Amino acid sequence: MTTRRERANAIRALAMDGVQAANSGHPGMPMGMADIAEVVWGDFLHHNPSNPHWPNRDRFVLSNGHGSMLQYALLHLTGYDLGIEDLKNFRQLGFRTAGHPEFHHTPGIETTTGPLGQGLANAVGFAIAEEVLAARFNRPGHDIVDHHTFVFVGDGCLMEGISHEVSSLAGTLKLGKLVAIYDDNGISIDGEVHDWFTDNTAERFRAYGWNVVVGADDKPVDGHDGEAIKKAIASATSQNEKPSLIICKTVIGFGSPNKEGKESSHGAALGKDEIELTRKQLGWNYGPFEIPDDIYKSWSAKEAGEKAEKAWNEKFDAYAKAFPELAAEYKRRISGELPANWAADSDAYVAKLQKEGPVVASRKASQMTLDAFGPLLPELLGGSADLAPSNLTIWKGSKNIATGGAEGNYVHYGVREFGMSAISNGIALHGGFVPYDATFLVFSDYARNAVRMSCLIPAHVIHVYTHDSIGLGEDGPTHQPVEHLGSLRLIPNNRVWRPADAVESAVSWKKAIERRATVFDASGKHSEELGAPSCLIFSRQNLAHNPRTEQQVKDIEKGGYVLWQHSDDFKAIIIATGSEVGLAVEAAQSLGQNGVSVRVVSMPCTEEFDAQSPEYREGVLPSWCRARVAVEAASVDFWSKYIGLDGKAIGMTTFGASAPIDKLYAHFGITTTAVVDAVKSVIESAPSKK
Ligand SMILES: Cc1ncc(C[n+]2csc(CCOP(=O)(O)OP(=O)(O)O)c2C)c(N)n1
Ligand SMILES: [Mg+2]
């Protein structure tokens, strides 16, 4: 019989050894949380190491992701496909043990963590997804969606502002199956936290409406006492009314005679001598990376996991017999497949719009698209950081998840942009949903790192940003984005769509819903297609409709296409996006009337255009034509890669100003006349010959 402490010491040893081998990493947290992890994974977590994708598994998130060796040790010991060689090669290129846990690199990692606080937000997303999916699919006697979400958080996570945003919302939404365990070790990188973190965390979370679990006399639970931890978790999981926070007092670097309780164990290898001393103190008499068979055996979750999944499969079979249509729909949703009629119906909607040619703001076109696509896609789980009447993300079928029961499909996130965006990542990773969230483009900065994480993970999230330029008018420079478009386009693996009219708006939604990206595993040898994010950028002001042939409508999906040209013998190209496409066409038509033939390229998504074949790109932007003008009411700097040294960009070089829209465009020189003049000037100066 192995003891709890021996099993926990296996984690401690692997963490010390892994970090020592890499001479880089964070041993302190895994050593401090090992006893807690032993109880969570040994006594509570329902999971199947042989099938990390079992949809009804409990979710586990390591929000304090610097302690990645803790998670790798757990996955290895419980029997996931993560061998000792991977642990020996912690943090090395091509191995499944990245510096911080990465989704899709390692079986059993539910989300990428490391940016502190966001794992907690992802966990809130998992819990929302579980609850909404359960409301939709469960039937009396058939709880096929029924799991917990466990998340470890450290001082750093709870200091981060995002922890306030998401914990406040989780309390309001009463996410009873969310269990957060706080590693209250009193240490962060700079030392003992008493000079920078003195909140009363228990009172803070009680005020949010959480079930705060502590020990006797309101003292934290002893995070090194297995039975006390077990009692605390049992009390958390015995109720479904409120999210739980279990506060555990721990000693960072537990077991290291000279480094435990000190910041020196946080983020550096302990050193060979200290490791030897630690082994002695822990009574762990095995060599580096050596785990005795009886410890492996007592840790293995394979048999229990297979049994748990089998029992669920039987439950699901009974559900499928009683509710065959629901069961089929559940399977479709979990697999991320789009409905059979999606392709035809969405194309038909786009074709209809092209015919009808509504002149509306693209935010309105976005809402019209939601009205058309929403009924086809029950997996759409919308939301907005307040502002829904402005960003028009509520469609006819939207129902608040807090009150909508089985029909719930909209989250009122309140004014919490960062929390919302990181929660969306969690919802997407849970499965069963394509989440979209929304705010003004200028506040994408508040959400920024979560958008970056959408792209890195990748998570199939649609970030909707309206009020996309000085075109929003009177709210002035605090609300007028300038650098945001370029900056979002710089994030690898992003797709940023800025449509020019209602038709392009519908296509951008379609592409975002269908978006998948090729993702390689840690070895770089095996790839799979995973859902991936997009940002949809919409205007406040009305936009003209553009006539198009059927082929042009199809080409919108390519991110850039020839929208209009005076003749094949054009002398210059104007590239434009969104609200400036109308202006570009006007300029080109006026030039044409004066005998200057110009081509207009609408470029709603530069990344999508860049992903096309060289032949296609050359067909749209022939290299012989260096007389190029870009026009976009945003930072001009982004456009140099398309217009080169010979071209001219018309757009913004400063912040905006507070005034009505027509005054602003004139004030900042984004006008038809300016485009006409720029075209004439580049035709003069640029060497453009076939
Ligand atoms: C957003 C963010 N800021 C900074 C860091 C760098 N960082 C990593 S761990 C850490 C200290 C965290 O303290 P705590 O959560 O108490 O971890 P412990 O030392 O107790 O393991 C910091 C600042 C980070 N990973 N994410
Ligand atoms: Mg700490």
Cα end-to-end span (Å), the chain: 82
Quote the pLDDT of residue 521: 86
**Pair 138, 144: CB distance under 8 Å:** yes
CA distance 454 to 536: 14
| Tokens, residue 129 | 């997804």
> Roughly what angle, to the nearest 10 degrees, separates helices 272-282 and 4-22?
180
Single-letter residue type at 261: G
Distance between Cα 32 and ligand 2 center (Å): 10
Burial tier of 269 (Cβ tally within 10 Å: 0-12, 13-18, 19+): buried
This prediction has a pTM of 0.98
CA distance 38 to 552: 59
Rg, Å, the chain Cα set:
28
β-pairing verdict for 527-531 and 516-520: antiparallel
Ligand 1 pocket (Cβ < 6 Å) reads 28-29, 64, 66, 114-116, 154-157, 160, 183, 185, 187-189, 252, 266
**Pair 620, 583: CB distance under 8 Å:** no
Element (H, E) at 528: strand 527-531
Instruction: Average the pLDDT over 137-157 and give the result.
Output: 98
Quote the pLDDT of residue 687: 73
Instruction: Average the pLDDT over 539-568 and give the result.
Output: 98
β-pairing verdict for 572-576 and 598-602: parallel
Instruction: Average the pLDDT over 566-576 and give the result.
Output: 97
How does residue 523 score in pLDDT terms, banded at 50, 70 and 90?
confident
Distance between Cα 164 and ligand 1 center (Å): 16
Ligand 1 atom with the smallest distance to the CA of 449 is 1
CA atoms lying within 13 Å on the CB side of residue 679: 30
Secondary structure of residue 604 in the 3-state scheme: coil
Pocket test for ligand 1, best of 33, 64, 252, 265 (most atoms within 8 A of CB): 64
Q: Which of 537, 607, 598 is nearest to 573 (CA)?
A: 598
Pocket test for ligand 1, best of 188, 252, 453 (most atoms within 8 A of CB): 188
Please, what is the Cα angle at 70 between 292 and 131, to 5 degrees?
Answer: 120
**Pair 446, 414: CB distance under 8 Å:** no
Predicted confidence (pLDDT) per residue in 587-616, tens digit: 999 999 999 999 999 999 999 999 999 999
| Tokens, residue 23 | 């001479």
Q: Which of 688, 666, 685 is nearest to 598 (CA)?
A: 688
Backbone angles phi and psi of 519, in degrees to 5? -120, 130
Percent of the chain with pLDDT over 90: 97
CA distance 459 to 544: 33
Return the DSSP state at 220. P
Active-site position among 131, 160, 260, 417:
417
Give catalytic status of residue 306 as yes or no: no
Quote the pLDDT of residue 131: 98
Distance between Cα 79 and ligand 2 center (Å): 29
| Tokens, residue 479 | 């609300």
605 or 525: which leads in pLDDT: 605
Ligand 1 atom with the smallest distance to the CA of 117 is 1
Q: Which of 569, 609, 564 is nearest to 590 (CA)?
A: 564
**Nearest ligand to residue 448 Cα:** 1
Distance between Cα 155 and ligand 1 center (Å): 8
CA distance 555 to 164: 44
**Pair 408, 382: CB distance under 8 Å:** no
The answer, yes or no, to whether residue 553 has pLDDT greater than 90, is yes
The beta strands (E) that lie in 87-228 are given as 149-153, 178-184, 187-188, 191-192, 211-213, 221-222
The answer, yes or no, to whether residue 654 has pLDDT greater than 80, is yes
How does residue 443 score in pLDDT terms, banded at 50, 70 and 90?
very high
Predicted confidence (pLDDT) per residue in 119-134, tens digit: 999 999 999 999 999 9
Predicted confidence (pLDDT) per residue in 400-413, tens digit: 999 999 999 999 99
Secondary structure of residue 639 in the 3-state scheme: helix
Pocket test for ligand 1, best of 69, 116, 190, 251 (most atoms within 8 A of CB): 116
The answer, yes or no, to whether residue 689 has pLDDT greater than 80, is no
The answer, yes or no, to whether residue 146 has pLDDT greater than 90, is yes
Quote the pLDDT of residue 525: 86
Distance between Cα 388 and ligand 2 center (Å): 38
Q: Please name every residue paired with 599 in a beta bridge, in sequence order, or none if there are none.
A: 565, 573
Predicted confidence (pLDDT) per residue in 526-545, tens digit: 899 999 999 999 999 999 99
The answer, yes or no, to whether residue 690 has pLDDT greater than 80, is no
Predicted confidence (pLDDT) per residue in 185-209, tens digit: 999 999 999 999 999 999 999 999 9
**Pair 68, 26: CB distance under 8 Å:** yes
Quote the pLDDT of residue 526: 87
- For residue 484, CA distances in Å to 13, 15, 248, 442, 660 come to 46, 41, 41, 7, 21
Quote the pLDDT of residue 438: 98
β-pairing verdict for 191-192 and 187-188: antiparallel
Q: Which of 446, 353, 457, 370 is nearest to 410 (CA)?
A: 370
Mean pLDDT score of the chain, rounded to an integer?
Answer: 97
Three state DSSP letters for 466-492: ECCCHHHCCCCCCCCCCCHHHHHHCCC
The answer, yes or no, to whether residue 688 has pLDDT greater than 80, is no
The answer, yes or no, to whether residue 522 has pLDDT greater than 90, is no
CA distance 319 to 309: 15
How does residue 464 score in pLDDT terms, banded at 50, 70 and 90?
very high
CA distance 148 to 557: 40
Give the list of residues 6+ apart from residue 240 with CB closer than 8 angstroms, or none.
Answer: 176, 177
Quote the pLDDT of residue 371: 98
CA distance 90 to 96: 8
CA distance 336 to 291: 39
Instruction: Average the pLDDT over 317-342 and give the result.
Output: 98
Q: Please name every residue paired with 236 in a beta bridge, in sequence order, or none if there are none.
A: none
DSSP 418-485: HHHHHHHHHHHHHSS-EEEEEEEGGGHHHHHHHHHHHHHTT---EEEEES-SGGG-TT-TTT--SSHH
- For residue 271, CA distances in Å to 27, 71, 253 come to 11, 21, 13
